[in-house]
Chains A and B, each alone.
Chain A
Amino acid sequence: MAETDSAALEARDLHLWRGSKHVLRGLSFTASAGHLLHVRGPNGCGKTSLLRTLAGFLWPEEGALYWEGRPVTEDRDGYAAALAYLGHENAMKADLSPLENLRYATDVRHPTERRTIESVLERLGVGPQRDLPFRALSAGQRRRVAMARVLLARARLWLLDEPFTNLDVAGVRDLSAVVADHARQGGIAILTAHSELDLPGSELRRLELE
């Protein structure tokens, strides 16, 4: 899935303002293949803003973001193809089933067989719900389906904003395993979570925002 090289994602001296609030003040970090970055901090410290900046929605006023050594502004679509983003919203249509939703979300990037989608849904524990309308699913099940989209995107860089919201204990365990797997295969995951993370066998690093 990914060739190993050094420092895949690098943030250099990011400054971000939201209105009159100076959210990011000269943030720098690097994340390379196999790294898991846990972004932590109190409410309103800019965790979501940071993730949205890394996903390319927000432009930092100063500083720059590099992917594989090149500024992401040079090839935004190329960078977007390399990342998968899970926001607060699940990005699923309530009137479509998980299977339909995932087909549209994934096929836009690369053709995916129905069997692949089904197996990922099974792995995340929502196999039986695959043909129900998305609106009929519980909040936790919806989050799992959304995570299936990230998994199916075949992206090297995962940006997960509060992926464990609404998940039960088993859900947290399943999801942690998926994220740890991703890192083991040379991927990068940057995620925000309030709780401590338990990700066995992977290099977990912390990024504290004040």
Chain B
Amino acid sequence: MGLITKSRIKSPWIVHYSCGGCNGCDIEILACLTPLYDVERFGILNMGNPKHADILTVTGPVNHRNYRVLKNLYEQMPDPKVVLAIGACACTGGVFHNCYNVLGGIDKVIPVDVYIPGCAPRPETIIDGVIMALKKLNEKGSKAE
């Protein structure tokens, strides 16, 4: 395993955007940072700035107003980058699928690499998803080189 590959896998920085969910997934993502789950063990940091991030974690369904925000955040991230759809709503629209203002899952707007189901997914599931995303991240990175 090359140094770059190893570093990439060991240092995933996250930017989180809450599209239009119910907060449940958002707090579960935050909970991942806290002592019980402590994702910093894997080098995961929540950066809050798309320009610094490798992984975009999105919760909630996209609606007519926030899809542009989501797209903009995605575009501002430097390559290689991956997108995680966290929770049922982000995957498909979930319980809000029939709401008039909801477009559906976030894959309607940006390419999604890993879907994490659940309402809300448990922190363990989310961590699992991030680890899966890392594989994709590395594939994308190596392809670019």
A pairs with B:
no
